Amino acid sequence: MLQARGCVVVRQHGSHVRVRCGECSTTVPVHAGRGIPPGTLRAIERDCEPCLGPRCLR
């Protein structure tokens, strides 16, 4: 979803991917068979808000 909005994967270490969009960056967990918990999703959204705008993942 973030890549569709112009973010790029910077690196991956295990099951975590570091994503950069403009000047913003965040870490996204990628665990097989599991979704992203709501609190983690809000943190990712908050990290990307300066570059992508409010509620960028909704």
* Domains annotated on the chain, with CATH: 3-52 (3.30.920.30)
pLDDT score recorded for residue 1: 80
The set of residues, in sequence order, having a beta carbon less than 8 Å from that of 39 and lying 6+ positions away, is none
Question: Which helix or strand (DSSP H or E) is residue 2 part of?
Answer: none
Look up the pTM and report it.
0.82
pLDDT score recorded for residue 14: 94
pLDDT score recorded for residue 57: 79
CA distance 45 to 38: 10
pLDDT tens-digit readout, 1-58: 888 888 999 999 999 999 999 899 999 999 989 899 999 999 999 999 998 888 887 7
